[in-house]
């Protein structure tokens, strides 16, 4: 499932990049035509290019919205799956890690105390 979502996101990114390239090419073509002042035909072409740029820009906006929706859906699916599988969150793991550290420190302190008591017992047995 995650593979499909990854592919959809990558596809969206690829479309976005291609559309950006097309927009840039169209803008450059329009600017070149405007600067050369070649008459009514060129003005018509420029208007066509301007309209094409608008259409491509709108398409790009829609692609971005679709990409954002796909990403949010992927997050929702992942969170739902993690919840369903009862996986621990990062915060919960951090708490467990801190508790383990405290337990380790207490165990080490108890080991030192036991060793000290063993030494004391041995000394008492010698006397």
pLDDT, tens only, 64-123: 888 888 889 988 998 888 889 988 889 999 999 999 999 999 999 999 999 999 999 999
Residue 74 · residue 12 · CB < 8 Å: no
- Judge if 58 and 105 occupy the same domain: no
Distance CA 57, CA 19 (A): 8
- Judge if 41 and 101 occupy the same domain: no
Please determine, for residue 21, whether its predicted confidence score (pLDDT) is greater than 80.
no
pLDDT, tens only, 25-64: 777 776 776 666 556 666 667 777 788 888 888 888 888 8
- Judge if 22 and 46 occupy the same domain: yes
Which DSSP category does 127 fall into? -
Instruction: Please report how many Cα atoms fall inside a 13 Å half-sphere around the Cα of residue 97, on the Cβ side.
Output: 7
- Judge if 68 and 106 occupy the same domain: no
User: What range does the domain containing 100 cover?
Assistant: 88-127
Residue with token string 């070149």: 32
Distance CA 4, CA 71 (A): 12
How many domains does one find in the chain? 2
The two three-digit tokens of residue 37, written as one number:
């002042």
- Judge if 55 and 116 occupy the same domain: no
- Judge if 41 and 77 occupy the same domain: yes
């Amino acid at each position: 499932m995650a593979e499909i979502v990854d592919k959809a996101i990558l596809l969206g990114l690829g479309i976005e990049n291609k559309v950006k390239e097309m927009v840039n090419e169209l803008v450059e073509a329009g600017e070149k035509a405007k600067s050369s002042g070649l008459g009514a035909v060129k003005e018509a072409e420029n208007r066509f290019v301007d309209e094409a740029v608008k259409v491509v820009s709108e398409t790009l906006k829609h692609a971005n919205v679709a990409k954002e929706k796909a990403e949010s859906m992927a997050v929702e699916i992942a969170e739902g799956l993690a919840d369903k599988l009862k996986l621990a969150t990062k915060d919960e793991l951090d708490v467990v890690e801190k508790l383990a550290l405290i337990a380790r420190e207490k165990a080490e302190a108890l080991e030192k105390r036991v060793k000290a008591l063993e030494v004391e017992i041995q000394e008492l047995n010698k006397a």
